[in-house]
Homo-oligomer: A and B are copies of this chain.
Protein backbone atom coordinates (compact mmCIF):
# COMPACT_ATOMS: atom_id res chain seq x y z
CA UNK A 1 0.00 0.00 0.00
CA UNK A 2 1.50 3.24 -1.16
CA UNK A 3 -0.85 5.07 1.16
CA UNK A 4 0.57 3.46 4.23
CA UNK A 5 4.10 4.14 3.04
CA UNK A 6 3.43 7.82 2.53
CA UNK A 7 1.75 8.05 5.92
CA UNK A 8 4.85 6.62 7.56
CA UNK A 9 7.16 8.84 5.58
CA UNK A 10 5.18 11.85 6.73
CA UNK A 11 5.37 10.65 10.32
CA UNK A 12 9.11 10.06 9.99
CA UNK A 13 9.70 13.58 8.74
CA UNK A 14 7.45 15.12 11.36
CA UNK A 15 9.07 13.14 14.15
CA UNK A 16 12.56 14.16 13.22
CA UNK A 17 11.59 17.83 13.33
CA UNK A 18 9.37 17.53 16.41
CA UNK A 19 12.11 15.86 18.41
CA UNK A 20 14.38 18.80 17.78
CA UNK A 21 12.08 21.66 18.59
CA UNK A 22 8.65 20.52 19.68
CA UNK A 23 5.15 21.04 18.41
CA UNK A 24 5.82 24.32 16.64
CA UNK A 25 9.00 23.06 15.03
CA UNK A 26 7.27 21.21 12.22
CA UNK A 27 4.90 22.69 9.67
CA UNK A 28 2.91 21.16 6.85
CA UNK A 29 5.08 22.90 4.31
CA UNK A 30 8.35 21.69 5.79
CA UNK A 31 7.17 18.10 6.04
CA UNK A 32 5.80 18.28 2.50
CA UNK A 33 9.21 19.37 1.25
CA UNK A 34 10.92 16.65 3.27
CA UNK A 35 8.87 13.88 1.67
CA UNK A 36 8.53 15.54 -1.74
CA UNK A 37 4.81 16.21 -1.98
CA UNK A 38 2.65 19.31 -1.62
CA UNK A 39 1.48 20.55 1.74
CA UNK A 40 -2.09 19.90 0.68
CA UNK A 41 -1.21 16.24 0.24
CA UNK A 42 -0.31 16.02 3.91
CA UNK A 43 -3.82 17.13 4.78
CA UNK A 44 -5.16 14.08 2.97
CA UNK A 45 -3.40 11.81 5.44
CA UNK A 46 -3.88 13.99 8.51
CA UNK A 47 -6.85 16.35 8.50
CA UNK A 48 -5.35 18.71 11.05
CA UNK A 49 -2.00 19.21 12.68
CA UNK A 50 -3.42 17.92 15.95
CA UNK A 51 -4.17 14.59 14.26
CA UNK A 52 -0.63 14.38 12.99
CA UNK A 53 0.79 15.10 16.42
CA UNK A 54 -1.48 12.55 18.09
CA UNK A 55 -0.54 9.88 15.54
CA UNK A 56 3.11 10.79 16.07
CA UNK A 57 2.81 10.29 19.80
CA UNK A 58 0.94 6.99 19.53
CA UNK A 59 3.41 5.55 17.04
CA UNK A 60 6.32 6.69 19.21
CA UNK A 61 4.81 5.00 22.25
CA UNK A 62 4.05 1.79 20.39
CA UNK A 63 7.57 1.60 19.01
CA UNK A 64 9.11 2.15 22.44
CA UNK A 65 7.00 -0.60 23.99
CA UNK A 66 7.84 -2.99 21.16
CA UNK A 67 11.51 -2.41 21.72
CA UNK A 68 11.21 -2.84 25.48
CA UNK A 69 9.36 -6.12 25.11
CA UNK A 70 7.60 -8.05 27.82
CA UNK A 71 8.62 -7.04 31.36
CA UNK A 72 7.46 -10.37 32.75
CA UNK A 73 10.43 -12.28 34.08
CA UNK A 74 12.76 -9.29 33.99
CA UNK A 75 14.46 -8.13 37.16
CA UNK A 76 13.94 -4.51 38.10
CA UNK A 77 17.53 -3.74 37.20
CA UNK A 78 17.15 -5.34 33.78
CA UNK A 79 14.01 -3.35 33.05
CA UNK A 80 15.72 -0.13 34.08
CA UNK A 81 18.62 -1.04 31.80
CA UNK A 82 16.28 -1.44 28.85
CA UNK A 83 14.56 1.90 29.40
CA UNK A 84 17.94 3.48 29.97
CA UNK A 85 19.19 2.15 26.64
CA UNK A 86 16.15 3.63 24.91
CA UNK A 87 17.01 7.14 26.06
CA UNK A 88 20.75 6.73 25.71
CA UNK A 89 20.42 5.72 22.08
CA UNK A 90 18.18 8.68 21.32
CA UNK A 91 21.04 10.86 22.49
CA UNK A 92 24.12 9.08 21.21
CA UNK A 93 22.74 7.78 17.93
CA UNK A 94 20.37 10.51 16.82
CA UNK A 95 21.10 13.47 19.12
CA UNK A 96 17.36 13.79 19.54
CA UNK A 97 15.06 14.47 22.44
CA UNK A 98 12.43 12.03 23.61
CA UNK A 99 9.36 13.12 21.63
CA UNK A 100 7.10 12.79 24.64
CA UNK A 101 9.48 14.52 27.01
CA UNK A 102 9.54 17.50 24.70
CA UNK A 103 5.79 17.53 24.04
CA UNK A 104 5.16 17.16 27.76
CA UNK A 105 7.29 20.20 28.53
CA UNK A 106 5.10 22.15 26.11
CA UNK A 107 1.92 20.73 27.61
CA UNK A 108 -0.09 23.92 27.70
CA UNK A 109 0.15 24.65 24.00
CA UNK A 110 -0.62 21.12 22.82
CA UNK A 111 -3.97 20.58 21.12
CA UNK A 112 -6.50 18.65 23.16
CA UNK A 113 -5.89 14.94 22.85
CA UNK A 114 -2.18 15.18 22.21
CA UNK A 115 -1.38 15.87 25.83
CA UNK A 116 -3.42 12.84 26.85
CA UNK A 117 -1.46 10.69 24.39
CA UNK A 118 1.77 12.01 25.85
CA UNK A 119 0.62 11.18 29.37
CA UNK A 120 -0.16 7.70 28.02
CA UNK A 121 3.48 7.26 27.05
CA UNK A 122 4.59 8.02 30.59
CA UNK A 123 1.93 5.74 32.05
CA UNK A 124 3.13 2.93 29.81
CA UNK A 125 6.80 3.30 30.70
CA UNK A 126 5.99 3.53 34.40
CA UNK A 127 3.79 0.43 34.16
CA UNK A 128 6.64 -1.39 32.44
CA UNK A 129 9.05 -0.48 35.21
CA UNK A 130 6.56 -1.32 37.93
CA UNK A 131 5.84 -4.73 36.44
CA UNK A 132 9.50 -5.68 36.63
CA UNK A 133 10.22 -4.02 39.94
CA UNK A 134 7.21 -5.51 41.67
CA UNK A 135 8.90 -8.13 43.77
CA UNK A 136 12.43 -6.75 43.91
CA UNK A 137 13.80 -4.16 46.25
CA UNK A 138 13.55 -0.66 44.79
CA UNK A 139 16.52 1.66 45.14
CA UNK A 140 14.62 4.20 43.06
CA UNK A 141 10.91 4.66 42.38
CA UNK A 142 9.86 4.12 38.73
CA UNK A 143 8.97 7.82 38.63
CA UNK A 144 12.50 8.69 39.69
CA UNK A 145 14.04 6.48 37.00
CA UNK A 146 11.97 8.00 34.22
CA UNK A 147 12.30 11.59 35.43
CA UNK A 148 16.06 11.24 35.62
CA UNK A 149 16.28 9.92 32.07
CA UNK A 150 14.14 12.70 30.61
CA UNK A 151 16.10 15.32 32.52
CA UNK A 152 19.44 13.79 31.63
CA UNK A 153 18.56 13.98 27.93
CA UNK A 154 17.68 17.64 28.25
CA UNK A 155 20.83 18.52 30.17
CA UNK A 156 23.23 16.58 27.98
CA UNK A 157 21.83 17.97 24.75
CA UNK A 158 21.86 21.58 25.84
CA UNK A 159 25.28 21.40 27.43
CA UNK A 160 26.42 19.49 24.37
CA UNK A 161 28.21 16.92 26.44
CA UNK A 162 27.11 13.29 26.30
CA UNK A 163 29.01 12.53 29.50
CA UNK A 164 26.44 14.63 31.39
CA UNK A 165 23.86 12.00 30.51
CA UNK A 166 26.05 9.23 31.85
CA UNK A 167 26.90 11.13 35.03
CA UNK A 168 23.24 11.88 35.65
CA UNK A 169 22.11 8.29 35.11
CA UNK A 170 25.01 6.34 36.62
CA UNK A 171 23.85 3.69 39.06
Digitize A52-68: 1 where CB-to-B-CB distance is under 8 Å, 0 elsewhere.
Answer: 00000000000000000
Q: Contact: B20 with A108, CB < 8 Å?
A: yes
* Interface size class of chain A, counting residues whose CB lies under 8 Å from the partner chain: 35 or more
A88 to chain B, nearest CB (A): 13
At the interface, yes or no: A92 with Cβ under 8 Å from chain B?
Answer: no
Query: What is the copy number of this chain in the assembly?
Result: 2
At the interface, yes or no: A167 with Cβ under 8 Å from chain B?
Answer: yes
Q: Contact: B107 with A158, CB < 8 Å?
A: yes
Q: Give residues in A with beta carbon < 8 Å to B.
A: 20-25, 97, 101-102, 104-109, 115, 118-119, 122-123, 141, 143-144, 146-152, 154-155, 157-160, 164, 167-170
